[in-house]
Amino acid sequence: MENSFNLVAIILLLGTTQGLFLTLLLLNRPVNKKANRLLALLIISYSAFLVQFAIQGLQITKEFPHILGLASGVVYLIGPLHYFYARSLISADMSFSKKYLLHLIPFVIFYLYMLFPFYLRSGAYKIAFFEMLEQSGPTPALSFFSWVVLFQGIIYMGLTFNLLKKHSANIKEEFSSLEQINLDWLRRITVITMIVYIVGVVIELVQTFDPTTPFQGLVPIAIATLIYVMGYLGLRQPEIFSGAASAETKELKKYERSGLTKEKSQQIHQRLRDLMEKKKVYTDSTLKLSQLARMVSTSPNYLSQVINEERDQNFYDFVNWFRIEETKRLIVDPAHQEETLLSIAYSVGFNSKSAFNSAFKKNTGMTPSQFKKGIKR
């Protein structure tokens, strides 16, 4: 049993080392600086949590007893940091205010509560205290803090998931290609982290009836994996909004105070149709609402309103509709019979096969291959 736990400890230390390496890379990355700093803090928090388990597994605490439990409270930072990391990716102009310090209350309360009963006690007392925990399980107070951590984490993951869901809807009003900015990877990480917290709840329930149940290594190993995946994917994440684009997207949410008349709306719509049909600007895979607005000499807010009200579409679906119409034209054109579907997709403005297939099926009810086979018949 001791050998297996030492193996777990070594795995956790490797995860911690990986986390520190990723932290250095994140702090030196020139883009997404605010988001990368938050992600670095999150990875440091995860790493500190892992170190705590590792040192117990390697039995070095008997020589250095005062390191016991030092990182116990960092788990209260993981949920808030995860949430604010997502917010900072989505809102380039996000600024921190004093009210955000309220998110640190559980972290502060934990250390204040444990200060006199544990942290200011002797090394011998700390060793005896941890030996008591291994034999008979946590005290009622520590059990309470464990439940607070688990439910806090579940709440923050829920908030993050809801934030990312809104982000998915918002970027369709500004961008025509979403693959690099939809944050699907962070949504998946959030779901996995939520599952880890739920597993923690199950473990806590089991250990309520049997404190000696050997589940110690499961959650830390899962976290060691999360450190690597989240850090690596975070390094690959490009900036989503510049400050200006972020402000424009906020501006698109409501049209109640818009001064756009029906006549002016129709004029903008006509200029827009002419631009899309004659100049085929949709073939630019990086086309954004703000760029298109400049081309038709209007504001992004007005253009978004025109697309929403005249076409009953968001910007993303509007641009992709033209791309799919052009795709269908090229498929039936004899001059393009030898061209592959993927080549056609790239030529009309798509930058991934998955986005092309999804948009084609949404607009036609069939896959590109099915459409092409139907033409041949």
pLDDT tens readout for residues 178-189: 888 889 889 989
Per the listing, tokens 């986390």 go with 19
What gap in Å lies between CA 240 and CA 90, rounded to an integer?
Answer: 7
Mean pLDDT of 82-98: 86
Residue 142 φ/ψ, nearest 5 degrees = -70, -35
| Cβ neighbours around 41 below 10 Å, total | 20
Q: Looking at the structure, tell me whether residues 190 and 237 fall in a common domain.
A: yes
293 plus 161 within the same structural domain = no
Domain of 149: which CATH number?
A: 1.20.1070
Contact between 155 and 94 under an 8 Å Cβ cutoff? The reply is no
Is 80 inside a domain boundary? yes
Q: What is the pLDDT of residue 96?
A: 80
CA neighbor of 309 nearest in space, from 247, 255, 249: 255
Domain carrying residue 55? 2-241
Nearest to 171 by CA among 254, 67, 90, 263: 90
| pLDDT tens sequence across 160-172 | 999 999 999 989 9
* Spatial distance between the Cα atoms of 165 and 203, rounded to a whole number of angstroms: 29
pLDDT band at 247 (very low <50, low <70, confident <90, very high): very low
Could you give the C-alpha distances from 366 to 89, 176, 211, 362, 369, in angstroms and in order? 35, 21, 56, 8, 8
Q: Which of 292, 312, 332 is the last residue of a domain?
A: 312
* Pairwise pLDDT comparison (327 vs 48), residue with the higher score: 327
Long-range contacts, stretch 93-100, CB < 8 angstroms, 24+ apart: 93/243, 93/246, 93/247, 94/34
Whether 118 maps to a domain, the answer reads yes
Q: What is the mean pLDDT of residues 66-85?
A: 93
pLDDT value of residue 251: 45
Same domain, residue pair 137 and 281: no
Q: Is residue 193 part of a domain?
A: yes
Produce one character per residue of 182-211: b if its CB has 16 or more CB atoms within 10 Å, e if not. bbeebbebbebbbebbeebeebbeebeeee
263 and 209 in a common domain? no
The residue among 241 and 32 whose pLDDT is bigger is 32
Q: DSSP code of 240?
A: -
**238 Ramachandran zone, left/alpha/beta (phi>0; psi -120 to 50):** beta
Which residues are CB-contacts of 187 (< 8 A; sequence separation ≥ 6)? 161, 164
Q: What is the pLDDT of residue 277?
A: 92
The residue count for the chain: 377
Query: What average pLDDT does the segment 46-63 reach?
Result: 79
Residue at 249: amino acid letter: T
Between the CA of residue 315 and those of 173, 181, 256, 268, 285, what are the distances in Å?
5, 15, 19, 14, 13
Chain centroid offset of residue 79 CA = 13
In a shared domain, residues 132 and 225: yes
Asked which of 186, 208, 241 is the last residue of a domain, the reply is: 241
Q: What percent of the chain has pLDDT over 70?
A: 88
* SS3 of the chain: helix, strand, coil, percent, to 5: 75, 0, 25
The reply to whether 120 falls in a domain is yes
269 and 353 in a single domain? The answer is no
CA pair distance 282, 290, nearest whole angstrom: 13
Please check whether residues 132 and 263 belong to one and the same domain.
no
> How many independent structural domains does the chain possess?
3
pLDDT band at 1 (very low <50, low <70, confident <90, very high): very low
Mean pLDDT of 264-286: 93
Residues 177 and 279 in one domain: no
Query: What's the rounded mean pLDDT across residues 297-319?
Result: 92
Given 241, 274, 302, which residue is the final one in a domain? 241
Q: How far is CA 168 from CA 179, 316, 321, in A?
A: 11, 11, 18
